[in-house]
Structure formats: structure tokens, C-alpha cells
Structure 1
Amino acid sequence: MTSSAPENTREGQHAPDGQHPLDADVIVVGGGNAAFTAAHAAAERGRKVLLLEKAPQDAFGGNSYYTAGATRIAHSGLEDLADFIEPDERHAATEVPPYSAADYTADLERVTDGRNDPELTEVLVSEAAPNLRWLKKLGLKYRLMYERQAYQREDGSYLFWGGLHVGNVGGGEGLMHDHVRVAAELGTEVRFGQDVTGLLVEDATVTGVTVRQEDGTVHELRAESVILGAGGFESSAEWRREHLGEGWENAKVRGTPYNNGDMIAAALQIGAAKGGHWSTCHSTQWDAFTPDNESNRELTNRLTRQSYPLGIIVNSQGQRFVDEGEDFRNYTYAKFGREILKQPGSVAYQIFDAPLRSMLRTEEYDMPGITVSQADTLEELAEQIGVDPAAMTETVRDYNAAIDTSIPWDPTVKDGRRAETTPVKSNWATPLTEGPFYAYAVTCGITFTFGGLKSDTHGRVLDAEGSPIDGLYVCGEMLGGLFAGNYPGGSGLAAGVVFGRRAGTLA
């Protein structure tokens, strides 16, 4: 840890005389990256830790399981990363631009329009990298994400872009399998299928949780501290409609179906204050029509469609509606799902021609059974996807004519190659002229909600007066305040690690 924590005076593992016996020193509610990180931090201190996960064991891992495992950290280049990433023969021909703490902070401020909590941001930016090294020592494995964050240049070398370079070996699945193994090595007890329904409070101190069993009975489990890492409310259609707005009940749930806001409600019920921006969330472009396109544990993150900056996106009326090249994908993908939800039928189409098709992410665009249409002409493509051919061809014609082709096209940098049309495309504009042409149907996939509980920088849940609620901590997507409207890719897993460790260190 790079900053000090308030003194912890609750070190005993047994309940004082006259109180209920303890089931653990620390109870962690949740089963994703943040919850397990908190559990590791507490267990390392010799605490007896009990982790309660609502999902059954075959659905373990929370939202983290469904991610690509990308984690945003500040660093000074490849040499700075070499001590904790897996060796790769491509490293010798790889350029990883430095990504400073100032860059990280500026990106958070920029994409959230300055609505990020500055104190939480400072902690996240300064502690993400050292905490990944700590997890590496515990047994987690990291690598450079070549397939998602780099392009191969003509000379065979690789250039990384967008400030997001490091990820887990095996993606989100590898991340969570590693977490479960490390928890067992540290002696943490993990129980699955645990429907935690509420918090126990005695003398203004949280002393445990209530858990509903399969037979409907409710049991009490007690501990000195409770850490909440049970995610947001994105899997509840009712909560989405209430807090995000009309139409959000139709969004596709990308990750776990168990993040329904129950533990947020339980904390609010005992006086916790709301934190963050409840009307916004992380949402992305998601395969619209592939069967089983929600909470799919086999395809997980591969149902995203993230090569859109290379082409254009049109709605069902054949019209463009966003600046696909506004910024690197890492800084726009979490907000474009929202824009698609606003379109007729909440569906849009990513359009590419033959030269661009070879540059699309293999793991997302080459899977069998995905929603894709292909045709030799734009008119035929439009007919296949049910869009007026005249409208779509006019959109493409206008786009092609508006491109300043005197500027070199370079997807590894913001090349400034614009299409001066409406809406403008700010970078990476290239004419769509060579068949066959391709259309990928996308809709809004919701990842996690940005509203949660208010806490201090050590994860202590605060009440309406700004005072810590004794014995209650929060981490992960339940912690509100870092993100609003948008977020820089990979900062969610980073925040889970940073504030999970802080909570577990103090609890």
C-alpha cells in the first residue's frame, strides 16, 4: 500500500463476553475481483475470512468473469512492466508508450466530464500498479494484451495504444480462477449460493449479515466487519428503469445475472448514503441477435463489438448518429451502448468494407454464429439488414466524399483524418468502397452501474452526515463516485483491486 490506513483496533478473533460468537472476523459479500481482493488483503493479516457469493459455484466470478481482464495502470513503459507480466517473444519488437499518473487522472476527468471524485481518483491512480504487483506475488498472472490493444506495423513490430496495456492471463475467466485458488491458499472460506438479505446492526455497528437458505429459512452470520463487494444493480430491469430511465429495461445484461442491487438496498436501509451518479452506467455495443446473448459464460466478453472506430455505425434508418472516431475505443465504448439504446428498435449496424474486415478483432468478429451480414454491394447489404438501400448508400456516399484523404490513415494514433460530415468522424476515416461489405448488428449491453454507496478513500461506508458506519466497508462496483457517464477502459478492474485491498486491509 502506498498510503496509510486509519488505525485498526479490532484485532480479536472472538466475541467479547455477553455477545454472539463470531462466524468470522471479516465477512465479504460478493464474488468478483473486488470481493476476492478484499478477502486476500484481510486473510494476509491473519483474519478469519468468510466470503459469501450469491451465485451457485458453477456461475462464480461476478461481473469480473465476463471481462477481458484488462486493467488500467500508470507506468513508464515496457521496462517498467517487465517485472510482473508474463514473458513473450514479441516483447523484443514491441513499443508500449508510457502512461503516467497525470495521463490517468486527466483521462478520468475528461471522460467523466469532471464528475469523478478527486480523492478516490488520486488513490486509484497511485495504487493500481503496485497492487497488481502484490496480486502477482499472491499468484495472479498478467500479460500484455496484444490482441486487443496493439496493432502490428508493416515492419512486424507492435505498437500499443490508448493507455490500456495490461490484462490477466486467460481474461476474466483466468482472473477469477486465480482468485479462487489464492483464496483457498490463504485459508479463506468461500460459500456459494448464499442469498444475503440484510445487515445486522447492534449499537450503531454492523455485526454481520442475514442469509436466506434454500429452504427459505434465514440465518444470521456474525463478524467484526462486513465488506460489501456485491456489484451494482444492472441485472434488475426494474432498478434500471427507475434510475437510468425509460428503455433501459430493454438493455442486454452482459455479465452476471445476480447483481440486482439487493446489498445496496440493505446498506441504504441502515442509513448508508448514496454515492456516485445513479442515472449513468457502463454500456457498450453488444451482439444484437445472437441467441443466448445475455450472461453467456462461454462467449463472455466476445459478444462485444469493439472495432467500430475503423468503420461507421448506422441505425435502422441508415443514418450515422455518433462520432465513431472521437477517441480511442478505450474512451468511448462504455458510452456508445447508451446511444444505440436511443435509436429506433435499440439496434444499429457497424459497417465495414473488405480492406477493413481483416483488421477487426478476431475474438469478437470471427466467432461462429454471430450476427453478421455480407454482400457484394452496399445496396444488397442494406436490403439484408432491413435498412432502406437509398438512405444507407447516401450516408456512405456522403461520408466517403467528406474524408480528407491527404492525411495518412493510422489506427495506432489519433491521426486527425476526419470526415467533415454530420456527425463528424474525427479520426480514422477511410472510404468504404471495396466489396464485399459487412454489417454487424449491435444493441446496448449494460456492464455495470455507476451509482452505489458513498465511502471514504479507505472503503468505509459513510452515512448521510458523512460519518463512517462502524464495521461496514464497500469496494468494487458498489462503490460510487469514480465514474459518471463514461469511464476509461480497464479502470473498473483497477478500482476493484485498489479499493478491495484498502477495505480488506482495514476490516
Structure 2
Amino acid sequence: MIDVLVIGGGNAALCAALMAREAGASVMVLESAPREWRGGNSQHTRNLRCMHDAPQDVLLEAYPEEEFWQDLLKVTGGITNEHLARVAIRHSATCRDWMRKHGVNFQPPLSGTLHLARTNAFFMGGGKALINAYYRSAEALGVDIRYDCTVDALELDGGRFVAARIGDTRIEARTCVLASGGFESNLAWLREAWGQNERGEWPADNFLIRGTRYNMGVLLRYMIDAGADIIGDPSQSHCVAIDARAPLYDGGICTRIDCVSLGVVVNRDAQRFYDEGEDFWPKRYAIWGRLTAMQPGQIAYSIIDAKAVGRFMPPVFPGTKANTLEELARAVGLDEAAFVDTIKQYNAACRIGTFDHTVLDDCHTEGVTPAKTHWARPIDTAPFYAYPVRPGITFTYLGLKVDEDATVHFGGQPSPNLFAAGEMMAGNVLGKGYTAGVGMTIGTAFGRIAGTSAAAAALNKNEGARREAA
């Protein structure tokens, strides 16, 4: 019988598999995707947010635990389990040497990501390289990896895991780690979670999925129905404003629109609706998907002028370009008079100080709602650009409640042999909001913890069986 069965094939799952194998357990990984699409959302990632008390190779200065915690507290609005959050934060200080041992290389942040030079360690080659490195290491260590294996049910005895089922196939294991992601690819479930708004729209009908098409939430739904303790709001997610021209699935990082803080954002009525300069973009980019989801038609337009060009990571699709504001409005289908009036009001409200996009500068607005609190400069230099954006769901926050050992609970009682990691339990730390790289922090920390816990539970049982046999 297998010691540790890991269900899932992304970062958290592979961290669990590697740790369990290093602990001496036999391990099988079941990945629902085919080999060429393996890795879940992790293949689209770039970096890991890391606590550090002094400069460390690719990380500048210091990013202590308390600052990391305060950053997380701010974006979640306090909807987080502080104990589990701090477990992940502390773990982020020590995991990179282990990652390197398994073939992950790091590099300094690229141009356009300099706000993260102090807080985030970037993977050389991105998430795809990280995933491939982990798979190579797992194979070398003898982990049994199986693709195209969608587990649709579990056999449970109370809170104890017995076996996983893939159709009529039954796979027994002494312990199990659930790391099969959220339900963001399940459009029907998203529609159910978001419901209908006051305008009679179904917002989720206009959502795009930034990541994998394979996170359908099958096991999450099964566990909810089986009475596992859950946490999180089903409508909350890592939800980014991405290019409205992006594909329905797997658009990844290149579809993100990163010029929001350098200009203004208007809805289809040509009205601004939120402070574009509230904070540094890495701390605020993940709120704009939800903000856009609340707008009519779930569509908005990020507007910049020539002064912003070269100051942000360019997306894969070029912006609509025009030499006048009137021409730009016509090109994207906005009411010309309303759009020009919005920009004129904003321009008149700008109080220009010393513009510096690397700090919270003193360029702000006065007398306009919503205010823009930093980086406010008039949009007055042709050519002008517009980028259409829609909500892009990366992963959902509804998940399984766990403890510091990554143990799944049923009615408040810990399972003896069932653990969870990654997006399937990220809602314990992320009740809402997001800050760049923290998803990989959670997945790496609790993946490694879950693998260690599962191996310990399995090997202890093995020891008990051997003693009984003796």
C-alpha cells in the first residue's frame, strides 16, 4: 500500500510529495491534467514573497515578519487566521535553500517589478521552470506520478481517509494530501457563488480564468458534502483586472494590466470608480478584478497618456492608441462627452508635486471623487492609450479549514490521516485581497508541512504494524 497519496500536481502538491519522499515514505501523485498542462496555476507564477531580516542573495535590505504580517493584514482587512499566516510567513524565510536543492533557481527582479525587489524572490524561468524542476526531482526520488487522473470521490471512514476513486479505479493509501486547487475553472460554480446583481446581470458570465482549466473543484465539493470543516467566502478570490481580449483559460501573467496606478480607470459609463493610486501596485493589483466585477457589464478601461509609457510591464496586447481624448473614446465605444468630461475633471483636480512611482509620492487630487492619493498627473500628453479590462480569476478562497500541521478537520476534530495544502486551504490565510507572491508562500509552506505530516502519520502506522507483526 502507498504511504502518501498526493492529489494535485501544482507547487503545493509537489512540495508535499518531495517532503514525504525525503522522509522515507512511498509517494504517488495524481495530476488531473495531461502531462503537457501539468502544474496547475503554479506554471503561471513568477515569485515567492519571503520574510528576511537582512539582505539575502536576490533579496534586498530586510523584510521582517511583522512588516509581512502587516502587509497581509492590510490587504485581507483582518479576514485571516493570524497564527496560520505567521506559520507561512516564518516558513518563507527558510524554504529557498530546500527549493534550490530541488532545482529551483532564483534571479533578481526584472524591469517593471522593482517594487518587489525587497519582498519577493523571482524564479529563473518563472513558474513553468519551477514546476519542471520539482517534477524532475520527484521522478529522480522515485515518486510515482500519474497524469490525466481526476479523482472524483474519496472513501472516508468518519474523518479517516481510506481510498481515492478515479471512476471505477480505487487507490488506497495510508495517508492523503489534498492539493487539487480551488474551483475557479468551474464556471457554473462561479455563477452560483456570485449570483445575480441589482442590474439583472450574472457577473461571473463575464469572468476570465487566468490560470488552469483543470481546477474544477471536484474534490472540494466532495469534501464539503462529506462534512469537512470549510472556511472562506465562495465569491472571494485572487481576482485581477486583466485584458478583456485574453483567452478564457490560461492567459497567465502576460494578460495583466499594470498601468492602472499611472493613469485612471473608467467604467463603460466613462466614470471613475476607485482610487487608482491607493498603494503600490503589487499590494493593490488583485483588488481591481473584483472592483471591475462590480461595474456595469463587468468591463472597465485603463487610460494612460504618453508620460506613462515605459514605466510598467507591457501586456501581451497593445493598447488602443489615439491622438485625442475624443478619438480614444470613439475607438473603445465610450460616450465621447462623458469621457472627456471625466478626464478634464480629473486633470483639473491634480496637485502635482514630485512624481516618483517608486515611492508613495505627493502627487494627488483634490476636489474630485474618487480621489487619487498618489501618482496623480494630468492625462494631457498625446498619444493616449486605453486597455479594456475584465475580472480575471486566478484562484478561489473557499477551502478546507486546517491547523498548523495542515490537518483537515471534521466537526472540529482533526483527521488522523488527511491533510490539505495550497489553494485548497489558502482561505485560512486569505479571506480576501492579495499581495504579490503570497499564494506561492502559502503553497510552499503548507505543501511542505502537509507532506511532512502525512509521512509521519503513515510511517508511524507502519511502525505500529511492524510491532504488531513481531
* Fold-level similarity (TM above 0.5): yes
Q: Distance in 1 between matches of 2:62 and 2:259?
A: 23
Counterparts of 1:387 and 1:29, CA distance in 2: 47
- TM-superposed CA distance for 1:356, in Å, is 0.8
Question: How far, CA to CA, are the matches of 2:4 and 2:422 in structure 1?
Answer: 17
What is the rounded CA distance, in whole Å, between the counterparts of 1:478 and 1:431 in structure 2? 44
Aligned to 1:350: 302
2:9 matched residue in structure 1:
31
Aligned residue in 2 for 1:258: 214
Q: C-alpha separation between the residues in 1 aligned to 2:318 and 2:333?
A: 14
**Secondary structure at 2:381's aligned position in 1?**
coil
SS in 1 for 2:41: helix
Q: Distance in 1 between matches of 2:40 and 2:451?
A: 18
Partner of 1:229: 179
Deviation at 1:190, TM superposition (A): 0.9
Extract unaligned runs of 5+ from structure 2. 197-202, 455-470
C-alpha displacement at 1:147, in angstroms?
Answer: 2.6
CA contact (8 A) 2:112 2:312 kept: no
Is the alpha carbon distance of 1:245 and 1:136 closer, same or farther for their aligned partners in structure 2, counting shifts above 3 Å?
farther
In structure 2, what is the Cα distance between the partners aligned to 1:149 and 1:358? 12
Q: 2:56 aligns with which of 69, 81, 86?
A: 81
CA contact (8 A) 1:232 1:449 kept: yes
Tell me by how many angstroms 1:502 deviates: 0.2
Q: Which residue in 2 is equivalent to 1:478?
A: 424
Task: Name whichever of 260-269 and 420-429 sits farther off.
Answer: 260-269
State whether structure 2 residue 273 is matched by structure 1 residue 312. Answer: no
Pairwise CA distance, 1:235: 0.9
Q: 1:106-255, aligned counterparts within 5 Å?
A: 106-150=70-114, 160-161=115-116, 164-202=119-157, 204-212=159-167, 218-246=168-196, 247-255=203-211
Which SS does the other structure have where 1:47 is aligned? coil
* Superposed CA RMSD: 1.6
Cα displacement string for residues 295-328 of structure 1 (whole angstroms, at most 9, x for unaligned residues): 23xx531011122111111111211111111111
CA distance in 1, matches of 2:416, 2:341: 62
2:290 to 325, 332, 338: 338
1:442 and 2:389 equivalent?
yes
* Cα separation, partners in 2 of 1:313 and 1:254, compared to 1, 3 Å: same
Q: Per-residue displacement from partner, 1:231-285 (whole Å, max 9, x unpaired)?
A: 0111112211222333224310111111111111222233311123333111001
Separation in 2 of the partners of 1:141 and 1:281?
A: 29
Deviates more, 1:277-286 or 1:117-126: 277-286
Q: What is the CA–CA distance in structure 1 between the aligned matches of 2:323 and 2:44, rounded to whole Å?
A: 35
Change (3 A) 1:425 1:481: same
- 1:429 is aligned to 2:376: yes
- Which TM-score applies when normalising by structure 1? 0.85
CA positional deviation for 1:498: 0.1
**Distance across 2 between alignment mates of 1:295 and 1:410:** 35
Alpha-carbon distance between aligned partners in 2 of 1:399 and 1:276, rounded to the nearest angstrom: 37
For residue 372 of structure 1, report the CA deviation from its aligned partner: 2.2
Shift of residue 122 of structure 1?
1.2
SS in 2 for 1:74: coil
Q: Distance in 1 between matches of 2:232 and 2:118?
A: 24
Secondary structure of the residue aligned to 1:286 is strand
Structure 1 residue 229 displacement after superposition: 0.4
Identity of aligned residues (%): 36
- Partner SS state of residue 337, structure 2: helix
Paired position in structure 1 for 2:346? 399
For 2:293, the aligned partner's letter is L
1:63 correspondence with 2:41? yes
Pairing partner for 2:235 from 253, 266, 279: 279
Aligned to 1:46: 24
Question: What's the TM-score once normalised by structure 2's chain length?
Answer: 0.91
More divergent stretch after superposition (190-199 vs 175-184)? 175-184
Equivalent of 2:248 in 287, 294, 312: 294
- Verify the 8 A CA contact 2:108 2:117 in the aligned structure 1: no
- Structure 2 SS opposite 1:172: helix
SS at structure 1 position matched to 2:253: helix
> What is the CA distance between 1:501 and its match in structure 2?
0.2
3-state DSSP of counterpart to 1:81: coil
Q: Is the 8 A contact 2:259 2:304 kept in 1?
A: no
Partner letter of residue 252 of structure 2?
A: T
**Distance of aligned partners of 1:203 and 1:391 in 2 relative to their CA distance in 1, 3 Å threshold:** closer
Q: For residues 158 and 290 of structure 2, what CA distance do their matches in structure 1 show?
A: 44
Q: Please identify, of 112-121 and 161-170, the stretch whose mean Cα deviation from structure 2 is larger.
A: 161-170
Give the unaligned 5+ runs of structure 1: 1-21, 86-94, 151-159, 213-217
Paired with 2:7 and 2:422, the residues of 1 have a C-alpha distance of 11
1:360: how far off? 2.5
Q: Supply the distance in 1 between the matched residues of 2:98 and 2:241 (Cα, whole angstroms).
A: 33
Alpha-carbon distance in 1 for matches of 2:60, 2:195: 40
Deviations 1:76-134 (A, max 9, x none): 35xx321xx4xxxxxxxxx9342111001111111111111011111011111201221
Q: What's the offset of the Cα at 1:445?
A: 0.4
SS of 1:483 mapped into structure 2: coil
Q: How far apart are the structure 2 equivalents of 1:165 and 1:251?
A: 28
Letter in 1 for 2:156: V
Contact 1:288-1:371 within 8 A present in 2 as well: no
* CA distances 1:322-358 after superposition (whole Å, capped 9, x unpaired): 1111111112111210111222221111111112112
**Can you list the C-alpha shifts for 1:176-208, whole angstroms capped at 9, x where unaligned?**
111211211221111100010111224652122
The answer to whether the 8 A contact 1:97-1:161 is kept is no
Given that 1:162 and 1:330 are in contact with CA atoms closer than 8 Å, whether structure 2 keeps it comes out as no
